[in-house]
């Protein structure tokens, strides 16, 4: 081990690209450093298919030849189903969708995130969505918790990815049209009754055809995108029902006022201890909005005609909404739906994958549903495409299952923090926005962002500022290594947030591990593993594999060869002097080896006894956790 080698730990995103680099100071890197860093363009498995650039380039009749089966059958033509069908058809796969065809009632609004637009791009529908006349979304404005002051989150600057408020009927139709334009087929007027399982492997579906009778559709893969119906999760017994009875009630209004100023087409959220109201502009007319309310414990929400008065009263109780809706009239009846979160124990199995709401539903307070539906759709397509090209199926399914369930968990945790903040009476002597204003300095926009990040992460604003500084430096370094470049807007915010979540657990679990030089013995932290891991290549080059260290929180790190050797040696539980000798350190071990070990310990990968030989408290926490 020679002085001057890098200490970087590359935090990997789900595609195996270094989303963050921890520990390494300089953004400018010498050539050899690059070779140890995955670039996301790893080897494929033979004839990988990249998505075609234009429908005309690959379009072929979506009809089967003699003796041919579908590559995939998709249950449901919602956003998830259309996304997976389009992304498969773009790769030249034979795919058909089955949809009963019950049209979504008009008037439903939906708000998209910039991250959703990225996934939509991969389905080939990006241009159509941008040209559809949906209301551009400038950001979100919150009146949250006890504070009287609204605060806003802006979606970046001119080069930020776009986001939209959409009419759901139009959006869903557009996504389906897009899938068909790429060569997918659709069986409208059919309802899937069950998935055919032969020796535990999905091999097609049984469809009840409108007008009577059933029909079997055989396929090598079945993707369940049936939304809350969750046909396959129920059939497989992997559905975990909602722990609470949250209910959403919503209605459309005409003649509404708008928020004034730059947030004119923001989504507006008004949160209290047990309810969250939202107001979204729609494309139908400038003064037409959808106003909804989520009641966390929906017990008090009536059904039938009483719902109308209940809804009007709930909206009128919010001063800001009463003001926006003064002079507005409601068009149509109020509608309600259960929105308690649910999850699945497994999101993929032999021959099958679950996508969108069929794979789980998190509290709608953060409106992630459409983003997740589109992201699951394109990931499912990549996975199936890779396996059809010869990638190892068990590895690919494991990867899909991990990504999907981790994402749902993350959003669930964020939503939990959101409700906690709404219920908080105060934050010490002052409200959260005031604390954030102090941490941010004179810039009001910064203070608003801080409140948002602080609420979502559950960390105090000063800790957010500290971590933001580290994050910006790390992202710059990651970009220099071929990782994701720093991006303005919500997407960057969410990347940071997901990091904050992990950091939060690290902060909570951190013990004063003191100086390793005085350590009794060095060892891997509980739950650390070092093993090859598969990643799916977004460009369609199949699965890639690289050696990855994973800590007990599920954070994954690419290792430089030196750190890999250090972890390997730590597994032998050596006293510090023996460790230094074993890793072949030369020169001054205190300065050379100490920082490496601190970096690994800070990320819960190694630990050591403190000088009096006491066991770090993490052992006890983890034992409690596992037990």
Binding site for ligand FAD (CB under 6 A): 75-81, 98-100, 102, 110-111, 191-192, 225-227, 229, 231, 248, 250, 292, 337, 339, 356-358, 364, 367-371, 373
Instruction: Compare residues 362 and 450 and give the one whose CB is closer to ligand FAD.
Output: 362
Shortest Cβ 104–ligand FAD spacing (Å): 7
Closest CB to ligand FAD among residues 401, 555? 401
C-beta closer to ligand FAD: residue 452 or 596: 452
Distance CA 425, CA 145 (A): 7
SS (H, E, C) 138-189: CEEEEEECCCCCCEEEECCCCCCCCCEEEEHHHHHHHHHHHHHHCCCEEEEC
The two three-digit tokens of residue 156, written as one number? 């970046």
Q: Phi then psi for 577, rounded to 5 degrees? A: -60, -40
Question: Which residues have CB under 8 Å from 17's CB, separation 6+?
Answer: 38, 39, 40, 482, 483, 484
Q: Which is nearer to ligand FAD, 10 or 187 (CB)?
A: 187
Instruction: Enumerate the β-bridge partners of residue 192.
Output: 207
Q: Which is nearer to ligand FAD, 224 or 592 (CB)?
A: 224
Least Cβ distance, residue 82 to ligand FAD (angstroms): 8
Work out the angle at residue 360's Cα, subtended by the Cα atoms of residues 355 and 364, and round it to the nearest 5 degrees: 115
Tokens matching residue 437: 């204003």
Q: How far is the CB of 215 from ligand FAD (least distance, A)?
A: 12
- Residue closer to ligand FAD (CB basis): 145 or 190: 190
Chain-centroid distance of CA 517 in Å reads 40
Backbone angles phi, psi at 201, to 5 degrees: -110, 135
Quote the least distance from Cβ 355 to ligand FAD, whole Å. 7
Closest separation in Å from C-beta 246 to ligand FAD: 10
Cβ atoms of 448 and 151 within 8 Å: the answer is yes
- Rank residues 116 and 509 by Cβ distance to ligand FAD and give the closer one: 116
Q: Among residues 99 and 385, whose Cβ is nearest to ligand FAD?
A: 99
CB of 98 to ligand FAD, least distance (A): 5
**Within 10 Å of residue 206's Cβ, how many Cβ atoms?**
15
Shortest separation between residue 608's beta carbon and ligand FAD, angstroms: 46
Residue 274's CB: how many other CB atoms inside 10 A? 15
Q: Mapping DSSP to helix (H, G, I), strand (E, B) and coil, where does residue 509 land?
A: helix
CA distances from 326 to 268, 287, 308, 333, 335 (A): 16, 12, 17, 18, 21
Residue closer to ligand FAD, measured from CB, 337 or 507: 337
Cβ proximity of 522 and 608 under 8 Å? yes
Min dist CB 230 to ligand FAD, Å, is 9
3 state SS of 106: coil
**Residue 195 beta carbon to ligand FAD: minimum distance, rounded to whole angstroms:** 10
Give dist(CA 229, CA 100) in Å, integer: 12
Q: Closest approach of Cβ 263 to ligand FAD, in Å? A: 17
Q: Give the chain's length.
A: 627
Q: What is the DSSP string of 345-359?
A: S-SEETTEEE-GGGG
- Residue closer to ligand FAD (CB basis): 375 or 457: 375
Which C-beta is closer to ligand FAD: that of 11 or that of 372? 372
Alpha carbon distances (Å) from 405 to 19, 342, 494: 19, 11, 17
Nearest distance in Å: CB 113, ligand FAD: 7
DSSP bridge pairs for 430: 427
């Amino acid at each position: 081990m020679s002085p001057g080698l890098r200490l970087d730990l590359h935090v990997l995103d789900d595609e195996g690209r270094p989303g963050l680099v921890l520990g390494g100071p300089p953004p400018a890197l010498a050539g050899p450093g690059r070779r140890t860093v995955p670039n996301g363009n790893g080897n494929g498995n033979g004839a990988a298919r990249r998505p075609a650039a234009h429908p005309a380039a690959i379009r072929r009749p979506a009809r089967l030849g003699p003796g041919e089966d579908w590559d995939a059958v998709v249950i449901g033509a919602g956003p998830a189903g259309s996304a997976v069908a389009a992304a498969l058809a773009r790769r030249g796969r034979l795919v058909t969708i089955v949809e009963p065809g019950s049209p979504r009632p008009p008037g439903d609004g939906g708000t998209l995130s910039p991250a959703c637009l990225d996934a939509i791009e991969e389905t080939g529908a990006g241009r159509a969505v941008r040209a559809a006349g949906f209301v551009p979304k400038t950001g979100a404005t919150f009146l949250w918790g006890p504070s009287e002051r609204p605060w806003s989150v802006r979606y970046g600057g001119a080069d930020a990815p776009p986001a939209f408020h959409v009419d759901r009927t139009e959006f869903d139709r557009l996504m389906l049209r897009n899938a068909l334009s790429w060569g997918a087929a659709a069986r409208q007027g059919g309802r899937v009754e069950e998935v055919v399982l032969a020796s535990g492997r999905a091999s097609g579906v049984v469809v009840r055809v409108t007008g009577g009778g059933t029909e079997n559709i055989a396929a090598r893969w079945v993707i369940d995108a049936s939304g809350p119906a969750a046909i396959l999760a129920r059939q497989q017994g992997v559905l975990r029902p909602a722990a609470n009875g949250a209910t959403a009630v919503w209605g459309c209004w005409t003649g509404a006022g708008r928020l004034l100023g730059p947030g004119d087409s923001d989504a507006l959220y008004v949160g209290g201890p047990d309810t969250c109201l939202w107001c979204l502009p729609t494309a139908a007319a400038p003064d037409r909005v959808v106003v909804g309310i989520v009641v966390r414990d929906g017990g008090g929400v009536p059904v039938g005609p009483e719902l109308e008065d209940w809804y009007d009263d709930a909206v009128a109780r919010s001063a800001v909404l009463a003001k926006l809706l003064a002079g507005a009239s409601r068009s149509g009846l109020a509608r309600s739906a259960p929105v308690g979160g649910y999850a699945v124990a497994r999101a993929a199995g032999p021959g099958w994958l679950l996508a969108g709401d069929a794979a789980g539903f998190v509290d709608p307070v953060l409106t992630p549903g459409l983003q997740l539906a589109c992201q699951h759709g394109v990931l499912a397509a990549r996975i199936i495409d890779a396996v059809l090209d010869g990638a190892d199926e068990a590895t690919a399914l494991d990867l899909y299952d991990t990504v999907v369930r981790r994402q749902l968990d993350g959003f669930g945790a964020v939503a939990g923090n959101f409700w906690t903040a709404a219920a908080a009476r105060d934050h010490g002597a002052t409200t959260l926005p005031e604390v954030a204003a102090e941490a941010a300095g004179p810039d009001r926009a910064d203070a608003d962002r801080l409140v948002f990040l602080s609420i979502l992460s559950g960390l105090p604003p000063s800790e957010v500022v500290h971590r933001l500084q580290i994050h910006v430096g790390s992202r710059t370094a990651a970009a220099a290594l071929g990782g994701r470049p720093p991006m303005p807007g919500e997407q960057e915010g969410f990347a940071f947030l997901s990091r904050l979540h992990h950091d939060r657990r690290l902060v909570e679990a951190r013990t004063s591990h003191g100086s390793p030089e005085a350590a009794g013995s060095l060892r891997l932290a509980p739950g650390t593993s070092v093993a090859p891991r598969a990643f799916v290549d977004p460009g369609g080059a199949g699965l890639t594999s690289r050696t990855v260290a994973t800590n007990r929180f599920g954070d994954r790190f690419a290792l430089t060869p030196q750190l890999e050797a250090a972890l390997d040696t730590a597994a032998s539980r050596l006293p510090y002097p023996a460790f230094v000798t074993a890793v072949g350190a030369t020169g001054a071990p205190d300065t050379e080896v100490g920082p490496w070990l601190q970096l690994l310990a800070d990320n819960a990968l190694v630990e050591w006894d403190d000088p009096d030989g006491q066991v770090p408290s993490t052992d006890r926490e983890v034992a409690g956790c596992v037990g």
